[in-house]
Amino acid sequence: MLISFSDVIFASIVLTILVFFLRRRKRTLPYPPGPKPYPIIGNALDLPESHLWLKAGEWSKTYGDLVFLKVFGQPMLFINSYEVVFELLEKRSGIYSSRPPFTMSKDLRQFDWILSFFPYGERMRKYRAIFHKFFQPIVIPEYHSVMENEVIKMLRGLKEDPEQYEKHVRRFPGAVIMKNVYGYEVQDEKDPYVAMGEACISQAFDVEDYLFLDFFPWMRHLPEWFPGASFIGEAKELRKLSRAVQFDAHNMTKERMKRGDAPECMTTVLLEDHREKEGDVDAEEDLHIASASALAYAAAVDTTASTIMTFILAALLDPEIQEKGQEELDRVLGKGTLPTFADRGSLPYVQAICFEAIRWEPIVPIGLVHATSADDVYNGQFIPAGTMVFGNAWHILHDPVRFPEPDKFKPERWLGPETENGPIPVQKVAFGFGRRICPGRHWADSAVFIAVASILASFNIERAKDANGVPIPPTHNYSAKTVRHLDPSKCVFTPRTSKVLDTVR
C-alpha cells in the first residue's frame, strides 16, 4: 500500500498535537519545591556567592531532599540525600548523566578536550572506556610499586624540608601519575608538568563562578573592552595552558618512543595498541589519546594531594588520631617499618582515617554538576530536560543520622558493624555518581592509603611553636571552589625512629 503525501502531513500534525499535549500534561505537574522565584530573574538572588553546598543544605531544612530553582529560565536541582541521589543519578542515569554547556571552561578557556565537560554520548563513552582500561580496580596493583617508591621520596622531603610540606605532599601524586601516564620521572617538587596539571584543574574547574555564562551564553561574544567583560581576555590567556597540558608531555613521550627509550605507560600502550589495530595513529586519534592522558594527570594531582593535606590537618587538630594510627602500625608491623599495600588488610584504623579524611572535608563538595538529557517525573514532580543537577556530597556526608557529630574527625565511625542507618561508604558519594562517577577513585584510594600510612609510621606531626613557644593553631581554611584546596598549617614533622631515617635517607 502506498502512503500519500497528505497521509504523512496528517500523521505529522497528529503526532505534533500528541507531543504538545503530553508535554503540557507533564508540565502541569509541579516542579520540586524551592525558594519562590521572582519574575524574569527567577531565583538569581537566592544563589550564594560561594559555598553552594552549604546553602543547598540549608534549603533542604525548608524544602526537603530535592530543591528546585530557576535562574533566568535555567532550571537547577539540588539533591540533598543519598536515597534520592541513588534514585535519580544512579537508577535513572540514562537521563541524569549529561553536563551543562560549561561555557567558560569549554568555549572561552578551551578546556574542551576534558572528559568531565563532555555531554553524555559517544565521545564520553570512548574516553571513559580508556579510563576504565587503565584505572579499574584490577589494574591498580600494577601501580603499587611506583606508589611505594614515590612515597619514600615524599617522606624524605618531609624530613629534610618540613616547612614546605605541602610541596612534598603535592609532588607525590604528581610523580606517580606522571609515571603511570607518560613514563616520566618527576625530578623535584617544582616540576613544571606537575605545576601545569595543578593549574589546569584550578582554572578548568573554576566552574561555579561562571555559571552565569551558562544562563546567558551570548555573553561569550562580548568584546573584551565591554564593561565587566574582562573575563573574555583572561580566558584567552588560559588557552595556552590548556594546549600545553594537553600536548606537552604527550609529545615528549612520543619523542622518546621514536628514540626507543620510552618506558611502558598509558600513552605508549594506547599509541601502540592503535598502531597494531589500525596501522597508524591519525591526528584525530592522537588528539583523543593526548586528551584522555592529560586529564588523568591533571585530575589526579590536586584532588589526591588535598585529601592527604586534610589528613595532616586532622592529625594536627587531634593528636589522638595519629597516636591510635601509630599504635596500630607499630603493633602490626613493628615500630619504624614502612607499610606496604600488602599490609592494608591488617590496618583497619589507618584505613578508617583515610575514609574519614575523604568524608570530613570532601574535596569536591557538591560534585561536578550533571544535566538532564530528557524530561523526567519524580514523586509527581516535573524535572525538565536541561536541568543542572547538583548531588550535594558535602550534605550527604554530614548527615547527623548516618554520621553523628559530622563535623568531628572520627575514624571510629568506619569501624563498627554495618547497620541500616550507618555510614554510607565514602566511595559512593565523594567521587560523584552514576555514569559520571570518578574513574580515578580506585587509584586515589590507593594513593591516599599509602601516603597516610607511611606518614603515620614515620613522623609525629605537631603544631609549630611561635617565638614565645606557644603552639600555632592549624589553618582550617579551604578555598570555596568546585575542587577545594587547603591552606598549609605551621607544623613540624619529627621522625619517630632512626630506623625510619635510614629508610628514607
Site for ligand HEM, rule CB under 6 A = 115-116, 128, 131, 135, 295-296, 299-300, 303-304, 307, 363-364, 367-368, 370, 430-433, 436-440, 443-444
Least Å from the CB of residue 306 to ligand HEM: 7
**What Cα–Cα distance (Å) separates residue 200 from each residue in 137, 273, 332, 341, 469?**
26, 28, 40, 30, 40
* Cα–Cα nearest to 271, from 252, 291, 285: 285
Q: How many residues does the chain have?
A: 505
Least Å from the CB of residue 144 to ligand HEM: 14
Cβ proximity to ligand HEM, 296 vs 316, nearer residue: 296
Least Å from the CB of residue 116 to ligand HEM: 4
Instruction: Classify residue 121 by its DSSP letter.
Output: S
Cβ proximity to ligand HEM, 304 vs 322, nearer residue: 304
- DSSP one-letter string for 397-455: TT-TTTSSSTTS--GGGGTSPP-TTSPPPGGGTTT--GGGS-TTHHHHHHHHHHHHHHH
Least Å from the CB of residue 118 to ligand HEM: 7
Least Å from the CB of residue 492 to ligand HEM: 26
CA atoms within 13 Å, Cβ hemisphere of 438: 22
Cβ proximity to ligand HEM, 44 vs 437, nearer residue: 437
Q: Is 473 helix (H, G, I), strand (E, B) or coil?
A: coil
Cβ proximity to ligand HEM, 114 vs 347, nearer residue: 114
* Cα–Cα nearest to 450, from 199, 145, 112: 145
Please, is 237 exposed, middle or buried when counting C-beta atoms within 10 Å of its C-beta (0-12, 13-18, 19+)? Answer: exposed
* Under 8 Å between Cβ of 430 and 398: no
Least Å from the CB of residue 117 to ligand HEM: 7
β-strand partners of 389:
77, 370
Element (H, E) at 254: helix 230-259
Least Å from the CB of residue 25 to ligand HEM: 31
* Under 8 Å between Cβ of 120 and 98: yes
Please, is 346 exposed, middle or buried when counting C-beta atoms within 10 Å of its C-beta (0-12, 13-18, 19+)? Answer: middle
Least Å from the CB of residue 85 to ligand HEM: 10
Cβ proximity to ligand HEM, 382 vs 443, nearer residue: 443
β-strand partners of 391:
79
Least Å from the CB of residue 436 to ligand HEM: 4
Least Å from the CB of residue 478 to ligand HEM: 13
Element (H, E) at 459: strand 459-463
Cβ proximity to ligand HEM, 336 vs 439, nearer residue: 439
Cβ proximity to ligand HEM, 304 vs 454, nearer residue: 304
Instruction: Judge whether 438 is annotated as a binding position.
Output: yes
Distance linking the first and last C-alpha atoms of the chain: 87
Cβ proximity to ligand HEM, 213 vs 299, nearer residue: 299
* Cα–Cα nearest to 370, from 13, 72, 116: 116
Cβ proximity to ligand HEM, 96 vs 215, nearer residue: 96
* Cα–Cα nearest to 124, from 6, 274, 288: 288
Element (H, E) at 268: helix 266-278
Around Cβ 120, how many Cβ atoms within 10 Å? 20
Instruction: Classify residue 207 by its DSSP letter.
Output: -
Residue whose grid cell is 618540613: 162
Cβ proximity to ligand HEM, 159 vs 481, nearer residue: 481
Instruction: Classify residue 108 by its DSSP letter.
Output: I
> How far is Cα 462 from Cα 491, in angstroms, rounded to an integer?
6
Return binding residues for heme: 438
Return binding residues: 438
